[in-house]
A = this chain, B = another copy of it.
Amino acid sequence: MNISIKNNRASGRVTLADVARTAGVSPSTVSRALRGERSVDPALIQRVVTVSDKLGYVPDPAARALASQRSNHVAILIPLLSNTLFVDLLDAAQKTLRAAGYQTLMGVTHYDSSEEEQLLREQLLHRPAGLLITGLDQNTATQKLITRSQVPCVHLMDLPDPGHTEHTYCVGFKQIQAGAAMTNMLLNQGRKRVAFAAAQLDPRVMQRLYGWRSALREAQLYDPTLEWLNPAPSSLALGGVLFEQIMKQKPAVDAIFFCNDDLAQGALLAALRLGISVPRQVAVAGFNDLTGSDQMLPALTTVRTPRAQIGQVAAEMLLTLMHGETPPHAQVNLGFDIIERQST
């Protein structure tokens, strides 16, 4: 007796047809039963599942994708892999999605909207079941691609202004509010000359800048010469450079709010090197609460952003959408926390 009578294909793969034959039902029924489609006799479901398990049947994703025009891939677009922020997002989303049976297709845009568009085009070929995309600032072509593809999409990290785009799904927090909140905290501590130092200058960084501006304007302390905007990529080293520049050119500054923790950490290390006392002479604040910020000397005051949670909640919202259901809220605000440590 040859066991292979159950399965006479060359590949050795157990197919849906094998399960159907063994269970004594049609392939259609196996397909429906296994996908949990309603309107299949519970007894049959039971039988099909049993046989399927016994034979060790696993559906072929390619065949499924071809027939249904929808794969089990979920595409995710992030700007960079060199910023832990986005890696945390990716990690959390990927974990949630995998648990639900989806494979993550990652794309790195390098903050380049045409690269983003090209990447999306490629990913769309795989007919992803869903799409996760960082930010709200896609170019027109990309927006069209998303709309036309009909693929459910959730945006990460930011929220639109109220009134606009009610139909855009997103999970994040108000960057502008976070920028204002940290600035206000510094003002409440009695700081009068608060600089804003930023790199990369992506749309979310700009929002934080606007928050800083509005808080200072409200306090009648806005001084445009205290904006230090550098389009270069964010890094520890650049933070040190910016810090030194500011201290040299604006010695009266009594606080510096950096748009990202790596810059602020670099500033703290530069302060140690230069013998500048933080926070006595100048307060230093960061953004994101990245690894190491709590270990710095002095420990860094920063804004803790719920990026892992954003990744997870966005993935869950996407899952809902992919099931054809409507999430209770199209926009989810996960907020942020001001973490006061010793650097301010």
Question: Which residue numbers of A lie inside 8 Å of B, CB to CB?
Answer: 11, 58, 60-63, 65-66, 69, 71, 81-82, 84, 87, 90-91, 94-95, 98, 103-106, 108, 122-123, 125-127, 235-237, 240, 262, 265-266, 269, 272-273, 291-292, 294-297
Q: Which of B63, B94, B104, B105 contacts A66 (CB 8 A)?
A: B63
Can you list 24 A-B contacts with CB-CB less than 8 angstroms, sorted by A residue number?
A: A11-B69, A61-B125, A62-B126, A62-B127, A63-B66, A81-B87, A81-B94, A82-B84, A82-B87, A82-B91, A91-B108, A94-B106, A94-B108, A95-B108, A98-B122, A103-B122, A105-B105, A237-B294, A262-B291, A265-B295, A266-B295, A272-B297, A273-B297, A292-B292
Determine the distance from Cα of A235 to Cα of B290 in the docked complex, in whole angstroms: 12
Q: Which residue of B lies closest to A119 (CB)?
A: B98
Question: Inside 8 A of A105's CB, which chain B residues have their CB?
Answer: 103, 105
Give the docked Cα–Cα distance between A296 and B60 (Å): 51
B236 touches A265 (CB 8 A): no
Q: Mostly helix, strand, loop or mixed at chain A's interface? A: helix
Say yes or no: B292 contacts A265, CB within 8 Å. Answer: yes
Contact of A126 among B98, B103, B296, B297 (CB under 8 A): B103
The chain B residue with its CB closest to the CB of A75 is B103
Residues of B within 8 A of A71 (CB): 62
Partner of A269, one of B266, B273, B295: B295
Max chain B Cβ within 10 angstroms of own Cβ: one of A123, A240, A262, A297 = A297
- A60-B66, A81-B87, A105-B105 known; 9 new pairs, CB 8 Å cut-off, are A63-B66, A82-B87, A94-B106, A94-B108, A98-B122, A103-B126, A106-B106, A235-B291, A272-B297
| Chain B, Cβ-Cβ closest to A239 | B295
Q: Which residue of B lies closest to A127 (CB)?
A: B62
User: Which residues of chain B are within 8 angstroms of A265 by Cβ–Cβ distance?
Assistant: 292, 295
Complex CA–CA separation, A103 to B237 (angstroms): 33
Query: How far is the CB of A73 from the nearest CB of chain B, in Å?
Result: 9
User: How many Å from the CB of A21 to the closest CB on chain B?
Assistant: 21
Taken together as a complex, chains A and B put the C-alpha atoms of A269 and B237 apart, in Å, by 17
CB <8 Å contact, A104 and B103? no
Contacts of A98 in B (CB 8 A): 122
- The chain B residue sitting closest to A265, CB to CB, is B292
**A209 shortest CB reach to chain B, Å:** 24
A31 to chain B, nearest CB (A): 16
CA distance A60 to B291 in the complex (A): 42
Query: In the assembled complex, which residues on chain B have CB atoms less than 8 Å from the CB atom of A91?
Result: 81-82, 108
Q: Is the pair B61, A126 in contact by a Cβ cutoff of 8 Å?
A: yes
B125 touches A58 (CB 8 A): yes
Q: State how many angstroms separate the Cβ of A184 from the closest Cβ of chain B.
A: 29
B81:A236 contact, CB within 8 angstroms:
no
Give Cα A292 to B264, complex, Å. 12
Cα A273 to Cα B272 with chains together (Å): 12
